[in-house]
Amino acid sequence: SAVISQKPSRDICQRGTSLTIQCQVDSQVTMMFWYRQQPGQSLTLIATANQGSEATYESGFVIDKFPISRPNLTFSTLTVSNMSPEDSSIYLCSGGGGNEQYFGPGTRLTVT
Amino acid sequence: EDQVTQSPEALRLQEGESSSLNCSYTVSGLRGLFWYRQDPGKGPEFLFTLYSAGEEKEKERLKATLTKKESFLHITAPKPEDSATYLCAVHHRFGLGGGADGLTFGKGTHLIIQP
């Protein structure tokens, strides 16, 4: 199994600013992903974080708004840019191989 | 159209009362069906991955099964600590909206086990 940590665990941000969320895995993993979970809702895939290349985004999510980096097999960042109150959500990182995917504890973001 | 549908949305059981949660899916090219448990304020905890119809996996009081159209999570003699939201997700050959190749989640079943 893989243990995944995220920083920060929560933050309150002003409208129009940006926040970068870090995701660290305790072992090398093939795949890493970013999800969003809005209050009381299930998880929605944002993108696949590809090591050494541009992330692959799901429909409705764009690189300018959610730039993602993955410099190696254990680390990734997600930036939420030019934030609005609608971006208030929990952002979750996951990682693993094809048959097991593990999640971090999430970053709770509130935009005021 | 929902690709992953879970039922019931909520379920309240007495301790020791066995039951099943359902996850139906309509995706093509299934590469895996995943079950997770999520406690309030935490990230999902991985339980099982199933790949082909007829496959079964067990962990303590939980058993997951898979058919060509649905999966069941059977909970035998549950305890209050089994209370959580149980999420089903599919990994399919074609990305839902853009090929990001991750998991598509259902809305979950909120399970409460009363002592």
Tens digit of pLDDT for each residue in B30-41? 889 999 999 999
- Give pLDDT, residue B95: 47
d(CA A55, CA A47): 6
Tell me which residues of chain B have a pLDDT lower than 70: 1-2, 93-100
What are A70-89's pLDDT values in tens digits? Answer: 999 999 999 999 999 999 99
Separation of alpha carbons A1 and A6, rounded Å = 17
Interface touch B43/A59, C-beta < 8 Å? no
Q: Between B46 and A53, name the one with better pLDDT.
A: B46
Mean of all residue pLDDT scores within chain A: 94
CB pairs under 8 A between A and B: 75
Distance CA B31, CA B94 (A): 10
Q: State the Rg of chain A over Cα.
A: 13
Contact A100 B42 (CB under 8 A): no
**More confident: A12 or B30:** A12
Contacts of A45 in chain B (CB under 8 A): 96, 100, 102-104
pLDDT at A52 (0 to 100): 84
DSSP states of chain A as a string? ---EEEE-SEEEE-TT--EEEEEEESS--SEEEEEEE-TT--EEEEEEE-TTS--EEPTT--TTTS-EEEEETTEEEEEE-S--GGG-EEEEEEEE-SS-EEE---EEEEE-
Q: What distance in Å separates residue B27's CA from the closest CA in chain A?
A: 16
The secondary structure of residue B88, as a DSSP letter, is E
Question: What is the predicted pLDDT for the residue at B94?
Answer: 53
State how beta strands A10-13 and A107-111 pair.
parallel
Listed in order, strand segments (DSSP E) in chain B are: 4-7, 10-14, 19-25, 30-38, 45-50, 56-59, 62-66, 70-75, 84-92, 104-105, 109-114
Token digits of residue A6: 């995220």
Residue A112 has pLDDT above 90, yes or no: yes
Which has more confidence, A96 or B101?
A: A96
Tokens coding A80 = 């939420």
